Amino acid sequence: MIHKAMRTTEDAIDSDGFVARAYFPGHLEPGNPDHGLGPLATIMESFLAPGTHIKLHEHVVDEIVSWVPVGVMRHDDPEGGHLIVDADHLMVMNAGWGFWHEERVHNDDPPLRMLQIFVRPHAEALKPGIQHGRLTAPRANTWRDVFGPTGSGAPFHVRNAVHCRDIHLAAGGTAILPTELGRKTYFFVFEGSVTADGQSFGEGESGLLTEAEDMPMQAVGDAVVLTFVIDMQAEVCRGGTVGDGETVHAMAARARR
């Protein structure tokens, strides 16, 4: 019932204190030629050492969610944004027709491990913008809304049909995976290990549930899991660098080896 992917072992980026590993949810679905699952394009697991500075660069089209449960990511942009993203705060960059920013970790900050989630919007040349704010406090063994489609009521929005939730499972705790009729659920184990559908999933491993049915997940030890409920029929724009660009195809080719 659940298709499984092991942790990525090859680095997509390794430069000057910045390491990133790419996860391609589309690879879990047999016969899917796309590296993404409809509007969910890619997940990047990023590691930044203290003192690392990723210089000013542009994103286009993609909706980029920075989820930082460990460490501190410092964002700056030419529009005057000076933002801190950490376990209590989320940032969504709706790149649209273009958004420039830079990222850094101060010398006295802890090492950073984060996920950057790339969502394909429903159209090209949308207005760029940025969302930043406090997440609700996590409650053990309870799903928490992270972001959802515009108008969904989630605290942060992306411009396509992907609804993201996270959970902090205590050892032995159980929760039912979020599902929705006609949609697929992809999950990523950020920390710890869980069991579901008779399979074990450790840190950095992921799974795809293709049918909307009750599927319990149980933590072997304390665990942090992120889920995405995805409308595979949604219109998507593939014009972003990560949404469907040459860079991500090169990453995908390496990941398949």
- Three-class SS of 235-257: CCCCCCHHHHCHHHHHHHHHHHC
Tracing tokens 């929005």 back to the chain, one arrives at 157
Each of the 257 residues of the chain gets a pLDDT tens digit; together they read: 899 999 988 788 888 889 999 999 999 999 999 999 999 999 999 999 999 999 999 999 999 999 999 899 999 999 888 999 999 999 999 999 999 999 999 999 999 999 999 999 999 989 999 999 999 999 999 999 999 999 999 999 999 999 999 999 999 999 999 999 999 999 999 999 999 999 999 999 999 999 988 999 999 999 999 999 999 999 999 888 777 655 554 544 443 33
Neighbours of 221 (CB within 10 A): 12
Per-residue pLDDT, 251: 45
- Contact 199/207 with Cβ under 8 angstroms? yes
Region class of 182: left (phi > 0), else alpha (psi between -120 and 50), else beta: left
Torsion over CA: 190, 196, 197, 198 (sign): positive
Sequence-ordered strand ranges (E) for the chain: 2-5, 13-15, 18-23, 40-48, 53-70, 73-76, 82-85, 89-104, 112-119, 129-134, 144-149, 157-158, 162-169, 174-176, 184-191, 194-196, 199-201, 206-209, 216-219, 223-230
Per-residue pLDDT, 254: 40
Tracing tokens 């990453």 back to the chain, one arrives at 251
Q: In one letter, which amino acid is 218?
A: Q
* Cα–chain center distance at 165: 10
Q: Both ends of the chain: CA-CA distance in Å? A: 25
- Contact 188/126 with Cβ under 8 angstroms? no
Q: In one letter, which amino acid is 7?
A: R
Give every CB contact of residue 65 below 8 A, 6+ residues apart in sequence. 90, 91, 92, 93, 116, 117, 119, 146, 147, 156, 158, 164
pTM of the model: 0.93
